[in-house]
């Protein structure tokens, strides 16, 4: 999906004209004003917000700069880092391999990654950890990829090679019995990336480009370092702490953890992803062939409650939230001062995207996700 450079007013007019039972234009103006106010209060350097119905973009808003020193404002082509939202695409790739008979979700991860047999466990054999446990963050593995805080200046951002993770396995332990509870784990998703590589024979990035990004029409999406022809669109990220504001630059390498959080994309490409999730692609299209509908919706079945308030649950890499008795399918991301979210609301056929390039944007992201859910998606059902 490529969003043309239509004026926002025209987008709003089109959205309102096609929604006879809901005054979208008025509601979107209120959400957009809240977006700008929240960004200002949160000292966000740059951000974008988009609302879709199926494959149609109903609202798009930008705030601030993609490159402050270069005086480059955020626009429709701005490319953000989507961090942990990447996990959901990794989950889709695993389900592709399942549907092709290459794996079963109940298989132990050690059958694909035998190095994990070195992990210690006081909660039964490591061989009890299955692919489904990894997909649902219930494996027992720790949260962070590194077993330390990364607070030293010489610490790399993430492990760059598989052998670095293997070297840590004898010093790793399961923290609880697999399947007994939810506990968010980045390494668990990295191990799934390794499974994709082992079974496909492709590097993770190559497999994903061929089997997910390209058929979905996400032509300006990529992993890790930005291609030369897209560098003029890449957003910088900004760290704000007690010492002030620091420009971290546009690029960084997520290394071997790419399957956990390496995706970069502009919002129109991510809107193509939401159109696929919402089933708003032609049945005979390449996008529809990425994953059968029944396999995708199986990923949205609750597995375990999370520790979050409001009854949130985890499915297979997707989080599930109930609001007013209606289910939202969602994920958020945060890495190297980029903060992102997406959700789809199957009942109304709508979804939203938000991306910010500043470390202080966490509360802004949460506020705007809730605003889009309550004032747009749910409001469309009520009226």
Contact 45, 68 (CB under 8 A): yes
Please return the burial class of 100, using the count of CB atoms within 10 Å of its CB with bins 0-12, 13-18 and 19+: exposed
Lowest mean pLDDT among 12-26, 34-48, 178-192, 227-241: 12-26
pLDDT class of 4 with cuts at 50, 70, 90: very low
Secondary structure of residue 224 in the 3-state scheme = coil
Contact 3, 60 (CB under 8 A): yes
Token code pair at residue 214? 């390209």
pLDDT in tens, 216-242: 999 999 999 999 999 999 999 999 999
Q: How far apart are CA 32 and CA 368, in angstroms?
A: 9
Alpha-carbon distance values, 140 to 116, 162, 231, 256, 350 (Å): 13, 20, 39, 20, 34
H helix intervals, 252-332: 258-261, 267-277, 293-298
- Please tell me which residue, 10 or 21, carries the higher pLDDT value: 21
pLDDT class of 149 with cuts at 50, 70, 90: low
pLDDT in tens, 342-377: 999 999 999 999 999 999 999 999 999 999 999 999
Q: How many CB atoms lie within 10 A of CB 20?
A: 7
Q: How far apart are CA 159 and CA 121, in angstroms?
A: 23
Average per-residue pLDDT in the chain? 93
Residues 252-273 have a mean pLDDT of 96
Secondary structure of residue 238 in the 3-state scheme = strand
> Whole-model pTM?
0.93
Token code pair at residue 189? 């998703």
Q: Any idea where the domains of the chain sit in the sequence? A: 1-43, 76-292
Does the pLDDT of residue 135 top 90, yes or no? Answer: yes
Sign, CA dihedral 151-152-156-161, equals negative
Give percent of the chain above pLDDT 90. Answer: 87
Q: How many CB atoms lie within 10 A of CB 9?
A: 9
- What is the per-residue pLDDT for 6? 47
Does the pLDDT of residue 12 top 60, yes or no? Answer: no
CATH number of 76-292: 3.40.710.10
- Proportion of the chain in helix, strand, coil states, percent, rounded to 5: 40, 20, 40
């Amino acid at each position: 999906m490529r969003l043309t450079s239509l004026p926002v007013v025209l987008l709003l007019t089109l959205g309102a004209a096609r929604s006879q039972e809901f005054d979208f234009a008025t509601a979107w103006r209120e959400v957009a004003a809240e977006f700008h106010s929240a960004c200002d209060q949160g000292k966000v350097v740059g951000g974008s917000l988009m609302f879709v119905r199926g494959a149609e973009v109903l609202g798009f808003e930008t705030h601030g700069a993609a490159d402050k020193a270069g005086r480059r404002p955020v626009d429709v082509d701005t490319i953000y880092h989507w961090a942990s939202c990447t996990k959901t695409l990794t989950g889709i790739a695993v389900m592709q391999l399942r549907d092709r008979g290459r794996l079963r979700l109940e298989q132990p991860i050690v059958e694909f990654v035998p190095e994990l047999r070195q992990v210690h466990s006081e909660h039964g054999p490591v061989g009890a950890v299955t692919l489904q446990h990894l997909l649902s963050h219930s494996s027992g593995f720790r949260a962070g990829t590194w077993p330390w805080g990364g607070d030293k200046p010489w610490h790399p951002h993430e492990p760059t090679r598989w052998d670095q993770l293997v070297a840590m396995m004898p010093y790793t332990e399961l923290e609880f019995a697999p399947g007994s509870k939810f506990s968010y784990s980045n390494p668990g998703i990295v191990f799934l990336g390794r499974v994709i590589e082992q079974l496909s024979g492709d590097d993770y990035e190559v497999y994903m480009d061929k089997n997910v990004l390209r058929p979905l029409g996400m032509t300006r999406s990529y992993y890790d370092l930005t291609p030369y022809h897209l560098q003029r669109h890449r957003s910088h990220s900004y760290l704000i702490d007690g010492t002030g504001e620091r420009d971290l630059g546009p690029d960084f390498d997520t290394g071997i953890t790419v399957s956990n959080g390496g995706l970069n994309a502009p919002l129109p490409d991510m809107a193509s992803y939401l159109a696929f999730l919402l089933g708003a692609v032609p049945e005979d299209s390449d996008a529809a062939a990425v994953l059968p509908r029944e396999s995708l919706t199986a990923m949205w079945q609750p597995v375990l409650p999370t520790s979050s308030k409001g009854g949130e649950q985890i499915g297979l890499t997707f989080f599930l939230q109930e609001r007013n008795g209606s289910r939202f399918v969602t994920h958020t991301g945060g890495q190297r001062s980029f903060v992102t979210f997406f959700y789809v609301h199957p009942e109304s056929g709508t979804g939203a995207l938000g991306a910010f390039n500043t470390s202080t944007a966490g509360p802004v992201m949460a506020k705007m996700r809730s605003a889009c859910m309550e004032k747009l998606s749910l409001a469309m059902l009520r009226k």
